[in-house]
Amino acid sequence: MRIARFTTGEDPQFGIVTGEVDQFGQPAEDSVVVALAGDPFYVGLKVLEQEHRLADVRLLSPIIPRSKIVGIGRNYAAHAAEMGTDVPEEPLMFLKPNTTVIGPGDPIFYPPQSSNVHYEGELAVVIGRICRDVPPEQATDVIFGYTVANDVTARDLQRKDVQFTRGKGFDSFCPLGPWIETDLDPQAFADGRQVQTFLNGDVVQDGSTADMIFDVPSLVAYVSSVMTLLPGDVILTGTPEGVGPMQVGDEVEVSIAGIGSLTNKVAQR
Ligand code: MG
């Protein structure tokens, strides 16, 4: 099932997106959004007798985390190598504030403090319930679903500061969407799902989730051994190789097989 957040010009609502999604993550033309009452993270799925054509609504970020986005650094060996670093012995955690989140089609604002802003296409795990010290074999129980993320990073500031907070913390630096796919097993990612990033239509990242050093259940276990996770919290699972700069006016698309495709443009702040 695909859970989206959308607006028709009125207050944002959650909804279920029906119809097929093709191999490029594009929904069928006849897809509709069936509206839900309230917030499914808290009240479950209460389906309303109200639907819209997907083409007639504006999709929003499928979740605004109430507490945190936990990023994982260097979780693909080839990306660690291109950064000139070793693979970490344990997952490398950092936080992005929830004010970084934007939705499909929203602009990524290029901050004046940086001259080297990179895309990082990533699988995002969305947590469904409050949890702590989750064993890897129970990770599925606390995962609401998966979405597509772009862990936008001001690479020059990340290197200069050592700490990641500024380089990864600017407003608009965490596009999420287009919806949350709830029906995938974490094993699907261990078996390999294609993660691709396109810059102005050209493939710039083409990785497989099978190449993650720490898999999804391990990451949920590791993060939850440090901090309590709340419904709607997001874990970014790291980016494959091929990161690179974006310029104002560029269009960046991240696509994950079986989930969907997320497109944003870069704008001057
Ligand atoms: Mg990243």
Query: What pLDDT, in 10s, does the model give residues 71-117?
Result: 999 999 999 899 898 889 999 999 999 999 999 999 999 999 999 99
Whole-number pLDDT of residue 93: 97
| 268 C-alpha to ligand 1 centroid (Å) | 22
69-268 CATH fold = Fumarylacetoacetate hydrolase; domain 2 (3.90.850)
CA of 122 to the centre of ligand 1 (A): 7
Tell me the C-alpha distance between 23 and 135, whole Å: 33
Please determine, for residue 146, whether its predicted confidence score (pLDDT) is greater than 90: yes
What pLDDT is recorded for position 52? 96
Q: Is the pLDDT of residue 24 over 90?
A: no
What whole-number distance in Å separates Cα of residue 151 and Cα of residue 236? 8
Show the tokens assigned to 141: 């129980």
Is 80 exceeded by the pLDDT of residue 28? yes
Distance 7 CA to ligand 1 centre (A): 29
Domain boundaries, the chain: 2-60, 69-268
Share of the chain above pLDDT 90, in %: 91
Residue 223 is predicted with a pLDDT of 98
Distance 52 CA to ligand 1 centre (A): 34
Task: Give pLDDT tens digits for 5-19.
Answer: 999 999 999 999 998
Average pLDDT of the segment spanning 200-213? 97
Assign 3-class secondary structure to 109-178: EECCCCCCEEECEEEEEEECCCECCCCHHHHHHHEEEEEEEECCEEHHHHHHHCCCHHHHHCCCCEEEEE
CA separation for the pair 110, 28 (Å, rounded):
33
Residue type, 14: F
pLDDT, mean of residues 206-211? 96
Ligand 1 mean position, distance from CA 118 (Å): 10
Name the pLDDT band for 182 (thresholds 50, 70, 90). Answer: very high
What's the pLDDT score for residue 25? 76
Residue in the structure block whose two tokens are 């959004």: 33
Distance between Cα 158 and ligand 1 center (Å): 11
pLDDT at 29: 86
Confidence of residue 23 (pLDDT cuts 50, 70, 90): confident
Task: Give 206 Cα–ligand 1 centroid separation in angstroms.
Answer: 15
Fold for domain 2-60? SH3 type barrels. (2.30.30)
Predicted TM-score (pTM) of this structure: 0.97
The Å distance, Cα 95 to ligand 1 centre, comes to: 11
Q: Give the number of other CB atoms < 10 A from CB of residue 202.
A: 7
